[in-house]
Structure 1
Amino acid sequence: MTKRNHSLTKRYATITSILLGIAIIFAILASLCIGAYPLSFSRAAYIVGHLFLPGSLPQETLEQIKELTVVQVVRLPRVLVATLAGMGLGMSGAALQGIMRNPLVGPDLVGVTSGAAFGGVLAMMFDYSPYGIVAMAFIFGLTAMVLTFGLAKLAHNSGNGMALILAGVFVGAFFIALVGLIQFVVTDAKLPGIVYWLLGSFIGADAQKVMMIGIPTLAGGAILMMLRWRINLLSLGDIDAASLGISVSKLRWGVIALVSLIVAAQVSVVGIIGWVGLVVPHLARMLVGPDHRRLLPASALIGGLFVLGLDDFTRTIVQAEVPVGILTALVGTPIVCFLFWKTQTKGWSE
């Protein structure tokens, strides 16, 4: 690639990232307008502006008070939770694919989602606090990742290739079996809530849930952004990265811990939302290229748009509270099958 072409590619990726940022802001405001109580775009933007900027929102009529309540209490927390969940999953998938140099790796396929789900339902069974649920989901999500890597190493594989995916499938199946065991022994009063939670839904989102998913996602995501050039080096291979002064083992496990934290926060708040972390990075890679300095932000933005769009779809087109985890599986599975065919028949090229 010539210097001119490289400059044009970089400029195109930068413009694309800016447009994605504008798109997600527009999507958030548009999502506040739709529902059983419709609002105009300008009114939604006006309310949000006054909520986040100093100064009180003037409330002159009963209609305006209703609009404020709908946005502040009902829609804004749900929209923020959906956006943050998608951003965290998209960014986590891109980071995992980078450090493992495998395009078919995602939080679902390496067992971290299943491990986090087990930690979450175990905490629910013992009536832990919401933050205790996040902690348990993180512990078992990280445990699942350790087990996956351990099984892959037994196959003389350092964390790449089909051995890693198969190990993740085995570990995921084990934790899903443990989830089923808890569903079998839990009381009848708790079972419906656990089952619906596992399907992945944004119903009941409130300010506390925004904080529970927002703090780990934004903090962990910020650290991943600071590490993205190191992830670029690691994606070249362990030997090349080590020769450039990168502590390969520390970096890989550091990224794994951050991904486990982000996924644990998402799972503990809204349940299992599958395939986002696997599909979204591929879409981002097609738009901005493989450079993680641009790939991670783009994956976060596309993930937020993807999950928020599906949640809006359930609230408007379907007009039923279909768990978004079901929709992501229905949409993501055909895409994953295509990606698997592509990697197996044509190979993968970064």
Structure 2
Amino acid sequence: MNNPLESPLVTNTPSDLPANIQEDISRLIQKMHFTLPLTILFYILPFAIIFWSLFIGRYEVDPGNVLRILISPVVPMEHTWSSAEETIVMQVRLPRIIAAVMVGAALSMAGAAYQGLFKNPLVSPDILGVSHGAGFGAAVAILLSSSTWLIQVSAFAGGTVAVLCTYLLSRLYRSGQILVLVLSGVIVSAFFQALVSITKYLADPYEKLPTIVFWLMGSLSSVRYSDLLAIAPAMLLGGGVLLLIRWRINLLSLGSDEAQTLGIDLKRITKIIVLCATLLTASAVCISGIIGWVGLVVPHLGRMVTGPDYRRLMPMTIVIGASYLLLMDDLSRTLISTEIPLGILTALMGAPFFAYLLWRRKTGWS
């Protein structure tokens, strides 16, 4: 009997198998040889972009000084850099970079979870109204001349209330279907969008209205360490739970009957996914404003690398989402002399790429 380790499957395909099976095995082996280096590259990519982001901008900082500034709190060394460089790196760019990583990862995770839950490739994190609810909360706070901290709290509360309204509205129909939840989200989103329009209509056109409009377009320019500490618990809770239950999202793709046969409580898992995705999206939107297309496009990029298995897809989505939004934020502050809102850039990049994905995947999305 041959040693299994010496089986032809390790290096090539057995000749006694049918031709179609041999072709499938060969394609699988070639895909593994292709995706493994690509996966490693994607996991390294965020660290390279983070370091690159620290020394680019209107005020350029030497990469060597960036390294010394980052190491100096731990390893005492002679200060060969200016205080202005240290302030720019540690107080301006670093919190903004961390925020871009957190927001990109959160929106991507929420989008991937919703696409698995609703079994729909067109689903994004704002499908249940969280973004427009957060926008209304922030707009009201800006209208009342609240502080930055109160604007963020109001945005988080508005997003949470919007999702709660969506869930309660779907319960009125007592059908228990996922489609009803989606349609309820459309209704609530439209309602809160109308409330945002009313707020903009009532706002002072010279002071409050520009602030509301700029917030709604998305930006990370005013993020500070205190903001990151405030949203970190919600993001860690929502993201951690989604990572722990990501294998169950695979079972949801089989259909409701099959999932129930395998022992999955659909109502319970739906509530958990909605709650976690709401925490991720609301906490992201409250510090960044409304940034579209990230949670829609990034999960598809992850599937191109890892396939539809959520055990590998969810971590890859985190990595790609963090890298993507950080790169968009770098472009927003360096392309022209004034900062471009993030929501504009993500739409300009995301819409054509999603059109390409639709053309490329003519036979399916998973």
Correspondence for 1:323: 341
Does the CA contact (< 8 Å) of 1:216 and 1:262 recur in 2?
Answer: yes
Relative distance call for 1:158 and 1:85 in structure 2 (3 A) is same
Residue 219 of structure 1 is aligned with which of 225, 233, 237? 237
- What pairs up with 1:114-133 in 2 under 5 angstroms? 114-126=132-144, 133=151
Amino acid at match of 1:199: M
Q: Deviations over 1:209-241 (max 9, x none)?
A: 222343322332122111111111122222222
Q: CA deviation at 1:10?
A: 6.5
Q: CA deviation at 1:258?
A: 1.1
Where in structure 2 are there 5+ consecutive unaligned residues? 1-20
- 2:353 and 2:174 map into 1 onto residues whose CA distance is 28
Once the two structures are overlaid, the 10-residue window that deviates more, 92-101 or 236-245, is 236-245
Residue 70 of structure 2 is aligned with which of 44, 48, 52? 48
Q: CA deviation at 1:268?
A: 1.0
- TM-score for both structures, normalised by structure 1: 0.85
Relative distance call for 1:240 and 1:46 in structure 2 (3 A) is farther
Q: Deviations over 1:192-222 (max 9, x none)?
A: 3222111101112211122234332233212
Amino acid at match of 1:172: S
Does the CA contact (< 8 Å) of 2:243 and 2:314 recur in 1?
Answer: yes
Where in structure 1 are there 5+ consecutive unaligned residues? none
Does the CA contact (< 8 Å) of 1:12 and 1:288 recur in 2?
Answer: no
Q: CA deviation at 1:104?
A: 0.8
Correspondence for 2:191: 174
Relative distance call for 1:220 and 1:17 in structure 2 (3 A) is farther
Correspondence for 2:298: 280
RMSD across aligned C-alpha pairs, in angstroms? 3.1
- What pairs up with 1:148-187 in 2 under 5 angstroms? 148=166, 150=169, 158-160=177-179, 168-186=185-203
Once the two structures are overlaid, the 10-residue window that deviates more, 247-256 or 231-240, is 231-240
Does the CA contact (< 8 Å) of 1:275 and 1:328 recur in 2?
Answer: yes
Residue 92 (1) aligns with residue 114 (2): no
Q: CA deviation at 1:156?
A: 6.7
Q: Deviations over 1:105-151 (max 9, x none)?
A: 11234422112222332344456666655554444434434555646
- 1:342 and 1:142 map into 2 onto residues whose CA distance is 36
Residue 71 (1) aligns with residue 93 (2): no
Q: Deviations over 1:271-325 (max 9, x none)?
A: 1001110011001110111111111111111111111111111222333201111
- 1:130 and 1:216 map into 2 onto residues whose CA distance is 19
Q: Deviations over 1:40-92 (max 9, x none)?
A: 334323322444xx455x3535x343322111011111111112111111111
Please state whether the residue corresponding to 1:32 is helix, strand or coil.
helix
Does the CA contact (< 8 Å) of 2:121 and 2:365 recur in 1?
Answer: no
Residue 59 of structure 2 is aligned with which of 37, 50, 57? 37
Does the CA contact (< 8 Å) of 2:237 and 2:276 recur in 1?
Answer: no
Once the two structures are overlaid, the 10-residue window that deviates more, 309-318 or 279-288, is 309-318
- The number of residue pairs the alignment matches comes to 342
- 1:324 and 1:267 map into 2 onto residues whose CA distance is 12
Correspondence for 2:79: 60
Amino acid at match of 1:73: Q
Once the two structures are overlaid, the 10-residue window that deviates more, 139-148 or 293-302, is 139-148
Does the CA contact (< 8 Å) of 1:152 and 1:167 recur in 2?
Answer: no
Does the CA contact (< 8 Å) of 1:152 and 1:159 recur in 2?
Answer: no
Once the two structures are overlaid, the 10-residue window that deviates more, 129-138 or 274-283, is 129-138
Relative distance call for 1:237 and 1:50 in structure 2 (3 A) is farther
Once the two structures are overlaid, the 10-residue window that deviates more, 235-244 or 25-34, is 235-244
- 1:207 and 1:323 map into 2 onto residues whose CA distance is 21
The sequence identity of aligned pairs, in percent, is 39
Relative distance call for 1:222 and 1:29 in structure 2 (3 A) is same
Once the two structures are overlaid, the 10-residue window that deviates more, 38-47 or 18-27, is 38-47
Residue 207 of structure 1 is aligned with which of 215, 225, 228? 225
